[in-house]
Amino acid sequence: MKITDECISCSACIDECPQSAIYNAGMEAEYNGSMISPESEEHPWIVQGLCDDCKTCTEVCPVDCIVTA
Ligand code: SF4
Ligand code: SF4
């Protein structure tokens, strides 16, 4: 899944993701022993390798800005 620029940075999705795959804007993520640069400096972003497409985040997003990657 992927977060589009329509995101209002409410952070609701971050708390709900069971895989802890959603990181804050500008935050690096660690995946498989490597650091991954943030995909966005403006809004939360999803580490594709951690996301299992459960879509829990899409249920809590108030602006429906989380879409299939
Ligand atoms: S689809 Fe599921 S695993 Fe992927 S970012 Fe959303 S809540 Fe997390
Ligand atoms: S729930 Fe939606 S609007 Fe809120 S931070 Fe996540 S993607 Fe952005």
Q: Please give the chain's pLDDT, 69 residues, in tens.
A: 999 999 999 999 999 999 999 999 999 999 999 999 999 999 999 999 999 999 999 999 999 999 998
With the most atoms of ligand 1 within 8 angstroms of its CB, the residue from 43, 46, 61 to mutate is 46
Q: Which domains, and CATH codes, for the chain?
A: 2-67 (3.30.70.20)
User: Residue 19: what pLDDT?
Assistant: 98
- Residue 37's SS3 state is coil
User: Residue 32: what pLDDT?
Assistant: 94
User: Residue 66: what pLDDT?
Assistant: 98
Cα 10 to chain centroid, rounded: 12
Q: Which residues contact 55 (CB under 8 A, 6 or more apart)?
A: 1
Tokens of 14: 């971050």
* Ligand 2 close to Cβ of residue 66 (< 6 A): yes
- Residue 46's SS3 state is strand
User: Residue 36: what pLDDT?
Assistant: 96
**C-alpha–C-alpha distance, residues 68 and 6, integer Å:** 14
